[in-house]
């Protein structure tokens, strides 16, 4: 299905947020996920189904000054 991840159109096989993170090789838990501008708690990543056309933002912390 076709979705937008961090502003980039992608074709993905994943059906859930959790599966998408695995497909995109994200490791760990130190990031936030928003689907269609709704931030999801980590407890809902495995159950949240993705749909064609969804906009997904994966926000990772950055250090700097």
Q: Does 46 reside within a domain?
A: yes
pLDDT value of residue 60: 83
65 pLDDT more than 90? no
The residue segments making up the domain with residue 13 are 2-59
- What CATH number does residue 12 fall under? 3.10.20.30
Contact 17, 40 (CB under 8 A): yes
Q: Does 9 reside within a domain?
A: yes
> What's the pLDDT tens digit per position in 11-42?
999 999 999 999 999 887 788 999 999 999 99
Helices within the chain (DSSP H only): 17-23
Domain count within the chain: 1
Q: Does 65 reside within a domain?
A: no
Average pLDDT, the chain: 93
Q: Does 64 reside within a domain?
A: no
Q: Does 41 reside within a domain?
A: yes
């Amino acid at each position: 299905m076709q979705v937008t991840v961090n502003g980039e159109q992608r074709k993905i096989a994943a059906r859930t947020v959790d599966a998408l993170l695995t497909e995109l090789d994200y490791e760990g838990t130190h990031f936030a996920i928003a689907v269609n501008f709704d931030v999801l708690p980590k407890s809902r990543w495995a159950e949240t189904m993705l749909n064609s056309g969804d906009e997904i933002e994966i926000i990772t912390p950055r250090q700097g000054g």
